[in-house]
A and B are shown apart, each in its own frame.
Chain A
Amino acid sequence: MPKVLTTCVYCGCGCGLYLDIEKDKVVGVTPSFNHPVSRGRLCVKGFNVHEFIHSDKRLKKPLIKKNGKFVETSWDNALSIVAKRLKEIKKKHGADSIACLSSAKCTNEENYIMQKFARAAIGTNNVDHCARLCHSSTVAGLAMAFGSGAMTNSIDEIENADVILITGSNTSEQHPLIATRVINAVKKGAKLIIIDPRKLFLSNIAHLSLQQRPGTDVAWINGLMHVIIEEALEDKNFIKERTEDYEKLKKTVKRYTPEKVSKITGIEESKIIEVARLYGKADKASIIFSMGITQHTTGTDNVLSLANLAMLTGNVGKESTGVNPLRGQNNVQGACDVGALYDVYSGYQKVADESSRDKFSKAWNVKLPDKQGLSVVEIFNNAWKGKVNAIYVMGENPIISDPDANHVAEALKKVDFLVVQDIFLSETAELADVVLPSASFAEKDGTYTNTERRVQLVKKAIDPVGQSRSDWEIICDVASRMGYKMGYKNSAEIMDEIASLTPIYAGIGHERLTNWGLQWPVKDKKHNGTKFLHKDNFTRGKGKFHAVEFKEPNELPNKKYPYILTTGRILEQWHTRTMTGKSATLDREEPFGYVEISPEDAKALEIKNGWKIKVSSRRGSIEPIARVTDSAKPGVIFIPFHYKEAAANKLTNPALDPIAKIPEYKVCAVRIDKI
Chain B
Amino acid sequence: MDKINKNDLLKLLTSLKDKNKLIAPVKAEKDIVFDYVNDVKDIVLDFTNTVKPAKEFFIPQREDILEFNNGKIKAIFSDEKRVFFGIRPCDLKGLCVMDPTFREGIEDPHYLEKRKNTVIIALACTTLCDENAFCESAKAGPVADGCFDLQLIPLGKNEYFVENGSKAGADIIDKNKQLFKKADKSDIKKMEDTKNKKINKKKVDLDLFLEKLKGRFNNKAYWKEASLTCLRCGACNYLCPSCFCNNMVDNTKKRYRCWDSCMFRGFTRQAANLIPRDELYTRFRQRLYHKYKWHKERYGVHMCTGCGRCVTYCPGLIPYIDIINEVSNSNGE
Contact = CB atoms under 8 A, between A and B. Distances in A.
B247 A585 contact: yes
A247 interface: no
Contacts of A572: 232
Given A2-B35, A3-B28, A585-B258, A41 B232 contact: no
A511 interface: no
Interface stretch (B56-64, B146-154, B285-293): B56-64
B13 to A, nearest CB: 18
Interface in A194-248: 204-205
A43 B315 contact: yes
Given A56-B253, A179-B315, A180-B315, A43 B231 contact: yes
A183 interface: yes
Interface string A38-61: 001111101100110001100000
Contacts of A493: none
A28 B233 contact: no
Interface string B246-290: 010101110000111000111001000100000000000000000
Interface centre among B31, B253, B265 (most CB of A within 10 A): B31
Interface stretch (A29-37, A141-149, A418-426): A29-37
Nearest to A39: B313
B51 interface: yes
A28 B31 contact: no
A189 to B, nearest CB: 14
Given A3-B33, A30-B52, A184-B317, A44 B228 contact: no
B234 interface: yes
B128 interface: no
A18 interface: yes
A187 B318 CA distance: 11
Contacts of A602: none
A22 B60 contact: yes
Given A18-B31, A40-B313, A29 B233 contact: no
A352 interface: no
Interface string B298-331: 0000000000000011111100000000000000
Contacts of B251: 55-56
Nearest to B225: A204
A73 interface: no
A34 B233 CA distance: 19
A33 B51 contact: yes
A556 interface: no
Decide if the interface of chain B is mainly helix, strand, loop or mixed: loop
A311 to B, nearest CB: 32
A588 B266 contact: yes
Interface string A1-33: 111010000000000101010100001111111
Given A41-B315, A571-B232, A585 B51 contact: no
Contacts of A55: 251
B258 A51 contact: yes
A199 to B, nearest CB: 14
Given A28-B56, A584-B247, A589 B265 contact: yes
A27 B264 contact: no
B65 to A, nearest CB: 12
A177 interface: yes
A56 B250 CA distance: 11
A258 interface: no
A141 B252 CA distance: 49
B62 A50 contact: yes
B228 A41 contact: no
B264 A585 contact: yes
B315 A27 contact: no
Interface in A126-160: none
Contact of B235 (A34, A42, A51, A584): A42
Contacts of A514: 29
Contacts of A381: none
B290 to A, nearest CB: 19
B316 A183 contact: yes
A584 B249 contact: yes
Contacts of B247: 584-585, 588
B196 to A, nearest CB: 30
B177 interface: no
A172 interface: yes
Contact of A40 (B35, B51, B253): B51
Interface residues of B, number: 44
Contact of B57 (A1, A43, A183, A205): A1
Given A3-B28, A56-B252, A204-B228, A41 B235 contact: yes
A44 B316 CA distance: 12
A176 interface: yes
B244 interface: no
A18 B33 contact: yes
A177 B317 CA distance: 11
B82 to A, nearest CB: 12
Nearest to A584: B249
A183 B317 contact: yes
Interface in B203-250: 228-229, 231-235, 238-239, 247, 249
A33 B260 CA distance: 22
B294 interface: no
A641 to B, nearest CB: 20
A595 to B, nearest CB: 16
Given A1-B57, A20-B61, A47-B238, A41 B233 contact: yes
B61 A29 contact: yes
A205 B251 CA distance: 41
B315 A177 contact: yes
Nearest to A3: B28
A514 B34 CA distance: 21
Contacts of B235: 31, 41-42, 47
Nearest to B229: A183
Contact of A5 (B29, B36, B51, B266): B29
Contact of A28 (B29, B35, B61, B229): B61
A588 B264 contact: yes
Contact of B31 (A32, A43, A172): A32
Contacts of B313: 31, 40-41
A584 B27 CA distance: 31
Contacts of B175: none
A184 to B, nearest CB: 6
Given A41-B314, A585-B264, A589-B264, A27 B62 contact: yes
Nearest to A459: B29
A205 B264 contact: no
A463 B234 CA distance: 29
B30 interface: yes
Contacts of A35: 30
Contact of B28 (A5, A44, A56, A184): A5
A28 B316 CA distance: 22
Contacts of A51: 62, 258
Contacts of A592: 273
Interface centre among A3, A29, A572 (most CB of B within 10 A): A3
A622 to B, nearest CB: 19
B322 to A, nearest CB: 12
A315 to B, nearest CB: 25
A452 to B, nearest CB: 17
Contacts of B51: 30-33, 40
Interface string A471-507: 0000000000000000000000000000000000000
A3 B32 CA distance: 10
Interface string A292-306: 000000000000000
Given A32-B51, A47-B233, 11 more contacts: A18-B33, A20-B56, A27-B61, A29-B61, A32-B31, A33-B31, A40-B313, A43-B233, A176-B315, A179-B231, A204-B228
15 contacts: A5-B28, A20-B52, A31-B52, A31-B313, A33-B30, A33-B31, A41-B235, A43-B233, A46-B233, A50-B61, A55-B251, A179-B231, A584-B258, A585-B264, A588-B264
**Closest 8 A-B residue pairs measured CB to CB?**
A28-B61, A588-B266, A5-B29, A584-B249, A180-B315, A41-B315, A27-B62, A30-B52
